[in-house]
Structure 1
Amino acid sequence: MDQLDISQRALHLLESVFGYSAFRGQQAEIVEQVANGGDALVLMPTGGGKSLCYQIPALLRDGVGVVISPLIALMQDQVDALAEVGVRAAFLNSTQTWEETARIERMVRTGQLDLVYVAPERLMTQRCFDLLQDSQIALFAIDEAHCVSQWGHDFRPEYIKLSVLHEQFPGVPRIALTATADQQTRAEIAHRLDLTNAAQFVSSFDRPNIRYSIVEKTNGRKQLLDFISGEHAGDSGIVYCLSRKKVEETAEMLNENGIRALPYHAGMDHAKRAANQARFLREENIVMVATIAFGMGIDKPDVRFVAHLDLPKSIEGYYQETGRGGRDGMPASAWMAYGLQDVVLQRRMIDESEADEDFKRVLGSKLDAMLGLCETLSCRRVRLLDYFGEASSPCGNCDTCLFPPVSFDGTVPVQKLLSTIYRVDQRFAATHVIEVLRGQETERIKTWRHDALSVFGVGADRSEQEWRAILRQVIALGLVTVDHDQYMSLKLTDAARPVLKGGQKVQLRQYQKPVKVKRGSTPKGYVETDLAPEEQSIFERLRTWRMGAAREHNVPAYVIFVDATLREIAKAKPTSLDQLRGVSGVGEKKLASYGDDIVRLIRDLT
């Protein structure tokens, strides 16, 4: 294809089909690379517009674009969203009847589809290979490509086999896409998918509209309730918990306190889990409480917060999960409650894992990076982006920027803590050690005669919360480990010796009581699209109309129009189809489907 012709045709499709006047970031370059038959490896943050990078080339090239996606539960919504803009799309997965499968396969063979979504397990069957060999293929898009990495946070073994696409279809371009991959994972994706010669497009990982906050965990569920009630009352959000039991209990607690919440975890009945996911996607003002089994590929743009009640295993996982907030570019919160028990639990999970020692070392280094993010004295966003190899400056929109933590020379208190662990023979857990430090005369301490130790009461000047914060940092620094015996005993490491002997200083983060951030405070560099009172009234009426249209079409509300588009309509107040055509997010198909209704509504209100 002629380069200028591709560029013009791509822009025309962007405007007429998807309703946007210009590409963002590297989208145009990626589209041209793939439309011209080249391979690409794309790293783009959640909400950055990855889908357009394969959807538009599939429309530009002859044949059907094949999208390999692990997200069976979301394929219907993805296909529905494409149908709304006039793109011929379908999916092939295990949820379909034999008749449905045969009908879709006929459409693929006869060129009646622009895009077909296929689960990797289905793709690897001989029947699917025969289908693709009999059809004209425009491209292969490998979505959620980080699933190929055994070192990553969401490994799927079937993804490793996808290098066969290069062997079986050498002339068909391939594009692999993911939102999260550090340098190691990126290299593994390129190697395993045979994309070492592909053009790599790495966008900025920064999501300036997300505010990152990590608080000391005291009473996690109460802190969560205070956070949602105080900063996100009535908003849609996601709460991540480590265990299924905690998911159920947290959802129940939120409902008891007037917050509509639904549970989601792999142990639930499949139909119930699917129904809860559908409600979250299609309704507003619902909080989904979930294990990490939930969320990959979720396109809901108006998730206003993502909360973690347990420490994620890695920065990749944390970034992927928090990135599900604020996909519409509006302000969103990434909030986490993190405590000593989280560190102990994650370390134990690694130690007790059946993985080999190399894999355990990788898991340990990823956890260390996550702990470093939690304990940092500097900007969290700088630390987060640095992990992905991106330099940045302080953001002014995370808790450490808004309320700078105090650093202090913690050598003496750390020496007191290490000495106490040593004096109690490295046989006791955190609570007992802290009680000895603080000089508390409990029955247990008297029984062991630890009130007679020289270290008894040497830390009476600090609260239990302060000592727990110090101990957590000391464990994060590798000076102390937790023995996973029945007592969870604290033990010194070799690294503790130079600190105890005074040959090494330790800098710590001062314990601070939680500070509440006012709801609606605006991120640095973010421009809020404020609406005048009349425009706000129109916006609310448009949202009500959208809900009815979504029910009628049996799709999530955002598939009709996202909030950002409704805001633009409220500001533009179009009273004709031509005026509506210029609004971002209104393509020709949506103009034909909904234009008359919107214009009529605007005329009635103005």
Structure 2
Amino acid sequence: MASPETLTETSDAARTLHRVFGYDSFRGGQQEIIEHVVAGGDALVLMPTGGGKSLCYQIPALVRKGVGVVVSPLIALMQDQVDALRDLGVRAGFLNSTQDFDERRLVEQEFLAGELDLLYLAPERLRVESTLNLLDRGTIALFAIDEAHCVSQWGHDFRPDYLGLSELHERWPDVPRIALTATATKATHAEIATRLNLKDAKHFVASFDRPNIQYRIEPKNEPKKQLLELLRTEHKGDAGIVYCLSRASVEKTAEFLTANGITALPYHAGLDARTRAEHQARFLREEGLVVVATIAFGMGIDKPDVRFVAHLDLPKSVEGYYQETGRAGRDGLPSTAWLAYGLQDVVQQRKMIDTSEGDDAHRRRLATHLDAMLALCETVECRRVQLLAYFGQESTPCGNCDTCLTPPESWDGTVPAQKLLSAVFRLQRERRQKFGAGQIIDILLGKKTSKVIQHDHDSLTVFGIGTELTEPEWRGVVRQLLAQRLIGVEGDYGTLVLTDASAGVLRKEREVRLRREPERVAKARAAKAARPAPVELSAEAAPVFERLRAWRAAQAKEQGVPPYVIFHDKTLRQIATESPKTLAELGTVSGVGESKLAKYGQQILDTLGGQGS
């Protein structure tokens, strides 16, 4: 293993990074954050998924005296997190509701005896007096509050149990705290600082750019078939997550994929806890599995090789979308974030906001979130620029999203907008009637359907005045007018109504710019061609990599842990390419720390056919 003297930084933190985790240098702003917390300072860290947030509290916990207490809502994943740390030689444990009395008592004894480096707790445990008393009796190195956006009611994943975490500072004023999140707008950021009593903490904001993820959004046209095409042509055999809005949609999509030869498991709150846990465990441990889920799935998933995240329904907020798409490509290799989006999504989301519980301020917050998400979907500019701008970060066009690869046109849609608004006006004001988009479009296209004839809509002056556009094009116009709030939607049937902004368009006082979708086939081909492939292994290294993967799979099965807990693909690829002949050479590979070298080194050399030393 390379000696610590070869490192540019020889602090305790850098030596721990090298010895335990097998890395020679910190990434991004990790070093500054770690040294600040090691010195006893409070920190609020905003860093993207896959950016190395966990090291920002794990290393200080190992360097400082005492136990690092990690507050995390991810009960279902704590076992895997602890297993991964123990495999690195870190003394880790957890306390949560899944354990019986004897298991909890053992962890408590380890804590009090100073035999733990890290202790993971669910936030609700800190509302139990016995837990607080336990912590009082031990030595705490730091408090890490993971998924800190859960404290924000402005954010997308509010958890009431997080509100009590502000009391940590009052009870243990000398213990440093580090709060971490992968998504936060300025409003969420400010609320986290206030609610966790971190106003005096040092704030660290990393770039939210994930350049290895290709963002693509396309109009819905039989979305399940569109998804199947994506998986067959671009992600055959890859692990991925598909998000749907409803439980029924999750079940149907999982069945559809399975019937078409893709192993897919459903995950939603309607399934019993045992089934959910089993499906999550299979996703983490098996290669190439697809999970179809509601947003209940995936928070904190540390699986590095998720190659795609697909949305079959419009997410409610940019924060939620970013958090969910961030579960792809944590290993830094090329990945896809794909979203199918249509008129009905907008109608459905607006209706959900209008009927949601809470006061007007709450509904306004939801509407603000949705408006930002719609703006991302309808932009003619670079998706990545728009996405990062939402989080207050400037960037330049990425060249690797759909709008960069096949730029959409912006066209003057003022006249079509006037025609559509006129049709709504005639029905609403003259006939005292309200209808959904389908009926309005039939009127504009001059279709004499039974419903048009029944309501005598073929006698309207606007009947047949919109034949210059096709039905799909008109649906795009309606969708974009809804996104721009130039038309509204109300009621259980999603009827279209005029808004205050409609008048300016009808009076020719306002121009309406609309997005024209490029040819979808061309876009898909361009996207596939533009995605950089992982560096291909040589003819000699490829079979070695497969042997290493087979060895890793056997180890993972024997230990009952996900394969990536043993080693990431990235590390195995480097081993296969460099083909180390001795333990010393193997120790220079990134991701091979002291514990893993001692535990697996000789087995790897045997697998390679090399000689130990």
| Corresponding residue SS for 2:575 | helix
Q: Is the 8 A contact 1:68 1:120 kept in 2?
A: yes
Pick aligned residue for 1:26 from 25, 29, 43: 29
1:115 maps to which of 108, 113, 118: 118
The letter of the residue matching 1:275 is: E
Distance (whole Å) between structure 2 residues aligned to residue 493 and residue 346 of structure 1: 17
**Partners in 1 of 2:525 and 2:376 — Cα distance?**
20
How much has 1:227 moved relative to structure 2? 1.1
- Change beyond 3 A, Cα 1:380–1:460: same
1:553 partnered with 2:568: no
Q: 1:370 aligns with which of 349, 368, 373?
A: 373
Q: Which residue of 2 aligns with 1:529?
A: 535
C-alpha separation between the residues in 2 aligned to 1:280 and 1:468?
Answer: 37
CA distance in 2: counterparts of 1:96 and 1:14, whole angstroms: 31
**Aligned residue among 501, 504, 510 for 1:495:** 501
Query: 1:241: which partner in 2?
Result: 244
Q: Which amino acid aligns with 1:443?
A: S
Is the 8 Å Cα contact of residues 331 and 522 (structure 1) preserved in structure 2? no
User: CA contact under 8 A between 1:231 and 1:518: conserved in structure 2?
Assistant: no
Amino acid at match of 1:490: L
* Structure 2 counterpart of 1:432, one-letter code: Q
**Does the CA contact (< 8 Å) of 2:405 and 2:527 recur in 1?**
no
* CA distance in structure 2 between the aligned counterparts of 1:520 and 1:470, rounded to whole angstroms: 28
| Residue in 2 that maps onto 1:579 | 585
* Residue 221 of structure 2 is aligned to residue 218 of structure 1: yes
After superposition, the C-alpha distances for 1:200-243 in whole angstroms (9 at most, x for unaligned) are 11000000000000010021111111111111111000000011
The letter of the residue matching 2:466 is: G
Q: How far 1:517 moved relative to its partner?
A: 3.0
Corresponding residue of 1:89: 92
Distance 1:44 1:252 in 2: 36
* Contact 1:237–1:306 under 8 Å retained in 2: yes
| Aligned residue type for 1:100 | E
Pick from 471, 477, 484 the counterpart of residue 470 of structure 1. Answer: 477
Quick one: distance in 1 between partners of 2:422 and 2:528?
46
SS in 1 for 2:520: coil
Question: What letter is aligned with 2:295?
Answer: I
Secondary structure at 1:91 match in 2? strand
Q: Which moved more, 1:228-237 or 1:384-393?
A: 228-237
Q: Note if 1:543 corresponds to 2:549.
A: yes
The match for 1:507 among 513, 535, 554 is 513
**1:293 equivalent in structure 2:** 296
Checking the alignment, whether the CA contact within 8 Å between 1:64 and 1:138 is kept in structure 2 is yes
SS in structure 2 of the partner of residue 213 of structure 1: strand
Give the distance between the partners of 1:7 and 1:382, measured in 2 at CA: 38
User: Is the counterpart of residue 10 in structure 1 residue 13 in structure 2?
Assistant: yes
- For the residues of structure 1 that align with 2:278 and 2:70, how far apart are their CA atoms? 25
Distance 1:527 1:464, change over 3 A: closer
How far apart are 1:446 and its partner, in Å? Answer: 1.2
- What is the CA–CA distance in structure 1 between the aligned matches of 2:528 and 2:500, rounded to whole Å? 47
Residue 163 (structure 2) pairs with residue 160 (structure 1): yes
Q: What SS class does the counterpart of residue 139 from structure 1 fall into?
A: strand
Q: Which moved more, 1:281-290 or 1:475-484?
A: 475-484
The 8 Å contact of residues 70 and 118 in structure 2, kept in 1 or not, is answered as: yes
Change (3 A) 1:403 1:388: same
Q: Which residue of 1 aligns with 2:391?
A: 388
Give the partner amino acid of 1:380.
R
* Residue 55 (structure 2) aligns with: 52
Contact 1:479 1:492 in 2 (8 A): yes
Report the counterpart of residue 137 of structure 1 in structure 2.
140
The amino acid across from 2:598 in the alignment is A
Q: Which residue of the partner structure matches residue 325 of structure 1?
A: 328
SS at match of 2:310: strand
> Aligned residue for 2:182?
179
In 2 relative to 1, CA 522–552 (structure 1 residues): closer, same or farther, beyond 3 Å? farther
Kindly provide the CA deviation profile for residues 5-48 of structure 1, in whole angstroms up to 9, marking residues without a partner as x: 99521111111100111000110011101111000000000000
**CA offsets per residue over residues 366-390 of structure 1, 9 Å max, x none?**
1100000000010000000000000
Secondary structure in structure 1 of the residue aligned to 2:384 = helix
Structure 1 residue 528, shift from structure 2 partner: 3.9
Contact 1:231/1:519 (8 A) holds in 2: no
Aligned equivalent of 2:173: 170
Q: Which of 259, 264, 286 is the equivalent residue of 1:261?
A: 264
CA contact (8 A) 1:575 1:600 kept: no
Task: Please tell me the root mean square deviation across aligned C-alpha atoms, in Å.
Answer: 1.5
**Which has the larger displacement, 250-259 or 4-13?**
4-13
Q: CA deviation at 1:530?
A: 2.6
The unaligned stretches of length 5 or more in structure 1 are none
Q: 2:151 aligns with which of 145, 148, 152?
A: 148
Residue in structure 1 matched with residue 314 of structure 2 by the alignment: 311
Partner letter of residue 292 of structure 1? I
Alignment of 1:357-436 (within 5 A): 357-425=360-428, 426-436=433-443
Which residue is 2:3 aligned to? none
Amino acid at match of 1:177: L
Q: Flag the 1:40–1:591 CA change in 2: closer, same or farther, 3 A.
A: same
Indicate the SS of the match to 1:441: coil
Superimposed CA distance per residue, residues 530-583 of structure 1 (whole angstroms, 9 cap, x where no aligned partner): 321111221111111110111111110000000110111111111111110000
Which of 282, 287, 307 matches 2:285? 282
Could you tell me the TM-score, scaled by structure 1's length?
A: 0.97
Q: Are the structure 2 counterparts of residues 5 and 534 from structure 1 closer, same or farther at C-alpha, using a change threshold of 3 Å?
A: closer
The one of 449, 455, 461 equivalent to 1:448 is 455
Q: How much does 1:185 deviate?
A: 0.3
Deviations 1:458-500 (A, max 9, x none): 1112111100001000011111111114x42211111010101
| Inter-CA distance 527–303: structure 2 relative to 1 (3 Å threshold) | closer
TM-score normalised to structure 2 length:
0.96
1:590 to 583, 588, 596: 596
Instruction: Measure the CA separation in 1 of the matches of 2:354 and 2:172.
Output: 43
AA at the equivalent of 1:552:
E
1:439 to 434, 446, 450: 446
- Identical amino acids, percent of aligned pairs: 60
Mapped to 2, the partners of 1:437 and 1:7 lie a distance apart of 72
* 1:201 corresponding residue in structure 2: 204
The amino acid of 1:417's aligned partner reads L
Task: In structure 2, give the amino acid aligned to 1:197.
Answer: D
Distance 1:5 1:335 in 2: 40
8 Å Cα contact 1:312/1:370 also seen in 2: yes
- Structure 2: gaps of 5 or more residues: 1-6
3-state SS of the aligned residue for 1:533? coil
Match of 2:68 among 65, 70, 75: 65
Residue type of the partner of 1:467? W
Matched position secondary structure for 1:214: strand
CA deviation after TM superposition for structure 1 residue 519, in Å: 7.5
In the alignment, the residues of structure 1 paired with residue 26 and residue 395 of structure 2 have an alpha-carbon distance, to the nearest angstrom, of 24
Structure 2 letter corresponding to 1:175: I
Deviation at 1:527, TM superposition (A): 8.2
Structure 2 residue 352 is the aligned partner of structure 1 residue 349: yes
- Where 2:336 maps in the other structure, the secondary structure is strand
**Mean Cα deviation higher: 36-45 or 441-450:** 441-450
SS in 2 for 1:242: coil
The residue identity in structure 1 corresponding to 2:447 is Q
Q: 1:103: Cα distance to partner?
A: 1.1
Matched-pair contact (CA < 8 Å) for 2:69–2:119: yes
SS at 2:387 equivalent: helix
